[in-house]
Amino acid sequence: MSKKSKAVPKQRHEMNGLERLSLRVSSMINHPLAQTQRWVTIHRLDTDGEAEWEEVMGLLLEMPELDLTFNDDNSVTVRWEQSAAQDRDDFILEEDSEVEVEEEAPF
């Protein structure tokens, strides 16, 4: 005799506008092409609320390693320099190692 268990439906979390915009901006910055060229242009969509847009742009402005250019078409170009491996604190390099380091976006 097999025991039947009732499947508990998982609650679905709907993302709010700030979460959706933050995820989109983060994905754009972390895209391999953006990482190679070290810049990306972010366009404000019709679905992006004013408060959400201002908050995410404010967070980006607070990051000293990012340079933001606000364009005439209401887009924002984000640029960053390649950081030296010695400046990063998220890993340790051995003195004699010849390890090539791939940089992630700071956002």
Q: Which CATH topology does 17-83 take?
A: Hypothetical Protein Ta0175; Chain: A, domain 2 (3.90.1070)
The strand pairing partners of 66, in sequence order, are: 80
pLDDT in tens, 60-97: 999 999 999 999 999 999 999 987 655 555 555 555 55
Print burial letters for 51-74: b (CB count within 10 Å at least 16), e (below 16). Answer: ebbeebbeebeeeeebeeeeeeee
CA distance 19 to 75: 19
pTM of the model: 0.65
The residue with tokens 């992006």 is 48
pLDDT score for 7:
72
